[in-house]
Amino acid sequence: MADNYLEKRFAQYEARKAAGTRPRRRHTEPARPAIVLPTRHRIILASQSPRRRELLGGLGVQFDVRVIPDIDESYPETLRPEDVPQYIAHAKARAYLPSLAADELLITADTVVVLEGDILGKPRDRDDALSMLRRLSGRRHTVVTGVVLTPGDGQRQADFSVASTVDFAPLSEAEITLYIDHLRPFDKAGAYGIQEWIGFVGVRGIEGSFYNVMGLPVGRLYEELRRMGEIVEGV
């Protein structure tokens, strides 16, 4: 009975979400950001994540996406969990550096979920995703994103990490299974997306940046771009 109820509620949620994203304008011009920030370099986002693309686009900078497959994302076991995302972001930057032009600025990032000292990365499969959400249920965990900014003209790199604390309500087995089977969050650290259904029903509170939990701390990124002189003055 409970499973049928959840299935019905989830179907209603999906219908409302689809209706809310349906374009209402009659013309077909592509959407443009309300604010466009001129930058000194051409920004390159090295990420396949649609969430990072959305967040960077919302910041107002123009950028291109470049993806190199199969980058080694392994890390030394001696690293503190909180240091792993920045380590991997640096590894990604090194992979892109040979193809980076002098007029380009590369953004690389990595996000992990940390629970009691354990790193919960992207789940290997359905069983791994179920296991992760069972562990997160009813507990607080930390989401850490490491970001590296690499200018192609030889200027010094900038790097930083941002941590946010997420408080999960207790989740039933039916809720966990429903989410995993419908949204299949196998490309997300910790097996969940806070902007999805599980975040609506399961997250009791956040300390820190919501956008960091999504995968890119855009507020801090903006600060770093300004500090580097990347945002053209007068904006």
Catalytic positions are 110
Around 56, how many Cα atoms within 13 Å sit in the side-chain half-sphere?
24
- Yes or no: say if 165 and 208 are a contact pair by the CB < 8 Å rule: yes
- The number of angstroms, rounded, from the C-alpha of 138 to the middle of its chain's C-alpha atoms is 22
CA distance 131 to 122: 12
**Over 115-176, what HEC string results?**
ECCEEECCCCCHHHHHHHHHHHCCCEEEEEEEEEEEECCCCCCEEEEEEEEEEECCCCHHHH
Query: What are the distances in angstroms from CA 50 to CA 65, 130, 174?
Result: 10, 23, 28
**Please, which residues have CB within 8 angstroms of residue 151's CB and are 6 or more apart in sequence?**
41, 104, 105, 106, 157, 228
